[in-house]
């Protein structure tokens, strides 16, 4: 692995289903982030983590949960997907809060 990977690349999901988006980084960054990107709105922070074992809520956390069991992995879970969660989801990491963020390739999620 070099950098950040995300899986799946894309997914079509029925409303009401549970879905976990995976994110793994190998840069040993303490800080990790989940964003969603919607047309005309830019990236909006869903949740973040400043170190393993701690997480925080971003601008649009409702309907999403995260965990940070170790430094490398930061999965995002939609407990019961709704159509408004159709979006492109980016995971990112940084060595320091407020520093350069490195992004994964994104997951395109469609909820029908």
Binding-site ranges for other proteins (CB under 8 A): 31, 33, 35, 40-45, 48, 50, 56, 58, 90, 97-101, 103-106
Place of tokens 């879970």: 77
CA 23/CA 94 separation, integer angstroms: 14
Question: Between 83 and 105, whose beta carbon lies closer to other proteins?
Answer: 105
From the CB of 16, what's the least distance to other proteins, in Å?
A: 28
From the CB of 110, what's the least distance to other proteins, in Å?
A: 14
Angstrom CA distances, 45 to 2, 17, 34, 73, 95, stand at: 23, 22, 6, 17, 17
Question: Between 31 and 80, whose beta carbon lies closer to other proteins?
Answer: 31
From the CB of 48, what's the least distance to other proteins, in Å?
A: 5
Of the candidates 41, 43, 42, 1, the one whose C-alpha atom is nearest the C-alpha of residue 22 is: 1
Question: Between 18 and 57, whose beta carbon lies closer to other proteins?
Answer: 57
CA 41/CA 52 separation, integer angstroms: 29
Residue 71 CA to chain centroid, in angstroms? 15
Question: Between 11 and 50, whose beta carbon lies closer to other proteins?
Answer: 50
From the CB of 85, what's the least distance to other proteins, in Å?
A: 19
């Amino acid at each position: 692995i070099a950098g950040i990977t995300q899986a799946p690349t894309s997914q079509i999901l029925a409303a009401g289903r549970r879905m976990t988006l995976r994110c793994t980084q190998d840069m040993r960054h303490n800080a990790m982030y989940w964003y969603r990107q919607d047309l005309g709105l830019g990236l909006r922070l869903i949740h973040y983590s400043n170190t393993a074992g701690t997480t925080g809520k971003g601008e649009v956390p409702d309907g999403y949960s995260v965990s940070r069991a170790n430094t490398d992995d930061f999965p995002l879970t939609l407990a019961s997907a709704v159509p408004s969660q159709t979006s492109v989801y980016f995971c990112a990491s940084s060595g320091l809060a407020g520093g350069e963020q490195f992004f994964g390739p994104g997951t395109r999620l469609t909820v029908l």
